[in-house]
Amino acid sequence: MQMMHHAFVIESEAEEGIGAALAWVEKELGVKAEGNPDISVLRYGLFSVADARRVSELAAGVAFAGESKAIIIAASRAYHEAQNALLKVFEEPPAGTYLFLIMPSLGGLLPTLRSRVHVLDRNVRHQVSYIPESAREFLKATKEKRSAMIKKIAEHKGGDAAVAREEAIALLNGIEAAAFKYRSQTSILEHAELLADIATLRVHLYDRSAPVKMILEHIAVVMPRDLSAGT
């Protein structure tokens, strides 16, 4: 008998990732997802250590209606400390417990957590053409306007560094989505360098001391001029 994975990550926007997780639960566990008390769907912007503790508490509880339960976590991003807090439950969840972590990008996922999970529906996000308006505006802007947008993000009103990082990550995700969409119409290597830079720099943006302005300025320089065609 083939061993079934118990912990998954899905690279996707929240609702589509949740849909993929629920479809897996229904198909593989043979249960109805709608109205099932053994299926928990948790939505977060920033996933914190306190949120990770809540997940661990839910995982430790017994199933209400059957022998299995699923916990689906959708987050726009997660602090490294929160990911570390998930390590034990993702590596050794209670029997019958299945865990799903959904994020717009897996670039910020810690290697220690990634080694404990199975990537489910890896290409689901790349099948989605959604590009945030902020990214569309950035792609079509002049050099001067892009500089102004970068400054506005880096110097977020109120000096909230966490919000600045979140906006920068959203912008990178939008540029990446445009590159994937445009790439499908051209050479497979058309934007390989840009995509590699985005994957690397996005990881740095998850750190609290991330140089947001410098990262976005670099992307603005290496971004192909014709990328706006992908929007």
Whether the predicted pLDDT of 62 surpasses 50: yes
Is residue 175 within 8 A of residue 227, CB to CB? The reply is yes
One domain for residues 200 and 159: yes
**Domain end position, chosen among 67, 102, 127:** 127
- Average pLDDT (13-32) is 88
As a whole-number percent, the residues of the chain with pLDDT over 70 amount to 86
The reported pTM is 0.55
Check whether residue 27 and residue 116 sit in a common domain.
yes
Q: Using CA atoms, how far apart are residues 20 and 204, in angstroms rounded to an integer?
A: 28
**2: in domain:** no
Q: Are residues 89 and 13 in the same domain?
A: yes
Domain boundary residue, one of 93, 127, 161: 127
Residues 12 and 111 reside in one and the same domain: yes
Residues 80 and 115 in one domain: yes
Integer CA distances (angstroms), 191 to 103, 180, 224, 227, in order: 22, 8, 8, 9
* CA angle centred on 66, ends 29 and 38, rounded to 5°: 80
> How many C-beta atoms lie closer than 10 Å to residue 70's C-beta?
26
pLDDT at residue 178 in the model: 78
The enclosing domain of 54 has a CATH number of 3.40.50.300
Residue 1 lies in a domain: no
Order of strands, edge to edge, in the sheet holding 7-11?
Answer: 39-47, 69-78, 97-103, 7-11, 118-119
In a domain, 38, yes or no: yes
Q: Are residues 32 and 93 in the same domain?
A: yes
20, 106: one domain? yes
Question: Where does the pLDDT of residue 200 fall: very low under 50, low under 70, confident under 90, or very high at 90 and above?
Answer: confident
The C-alpha atoms of residue 143 and residue 10 are separated, in whole angstroms, by 35
Residue 182's nearest CA partner among 116, 229, 149, 122 is 229
Domain of residue 54: give its range.
7-127
* Same-domain pairing of 106 and 120: yes
Total count of domains within the chain: 2
**Cβ-based burial of 126 (10 A; exposed 0-12, middle 13-18, buried ≥19):** middle
